[in-house]
Structure 1
């Protein structure tokens, strides 16, 4: 049950949810043959969101390292002075 029309899903929502939870694969809801939404196990979604955030953090760290390599760093005393903390 990978693809189910919205109309069919509405009439057997419990089965759609159970299928997504038991098989740990999304059930795609379709309208006029096009995928419009998905039902996914809540724990699977949380894991995907955590992994997406981890990936975003890794990409940000890599970008910061590249910027440091290209532009160097600013000494801490200069940063404090710029914000009037020195």
Structure 2
């Protein structure tokens, strides 16, 4: 099976026709070696074949990173609110003064 490596990627990049001819080997490499295979069709990278457990770990890592980012945003918004916040009573006084 012909495998090329592109740029800094260490994962195999293989033509779709080669993957079809050697599907069992490609699946074994993903399953046992935890090596994803990027497939190309007409010179363009299309799908990636990787082990299901590796995929689940990637999804979990994405969710953890997204949760951390959202928590950081919430903390920043809360801090901004504290720095520029006024109490409800102060707001009511300011509104009442504006009406006079």
User: Does the TM-score normalized on the shorter chain lie above 0.5?
Assistant: yes
Q: How much does 1:5 deviate?
A: 0.9
Where do 4+ consecutive residues of structure 1 move more than 3 Å?
none
- For the pair 1:21 / 2:27, whether they are aligned, the reply is no
Q: How much does 1:14 deviate?
A: 1.2
Task: List alignment gaps of at least 5 residues for structure 2.
Answer: 4-11, 86-100
Inter-partner Cα distance in structure 2 for 1:17 and 1:50: 22
SS in 2 for 1:24: coil
TM-score, normalised relative to structure 1: 0.77
TM-score, normalised relative to structure 2: 0.67
Q: Could you tell me which residue of structure 2 aligns to residue 6 of structure 1?
A: 16
Task: List alignment gaps of at least 5 residues for structure 1.
Answer: 74-86
- The higher relative CO (CA closer than 8 Å, separation ≥ 6) is in 1
- For the pair 1:32 / 2:37, whether they are aligned, the reply is no
- Which one has the largest radius of gyration? 2
Aligned residues: 74
Q: How much does 1:39 deviate?
A: 0.4
CA RMSD of aligned residues (A): 1.8
Q: Could you tell me which residue of structure 1 aligns to residue 8 of structure 2?
A: none
Q: How much does 1:21 deviate?
A: 1.3
- For the pair 1:57 / 2:67, whether they are aligned, the reply is yes
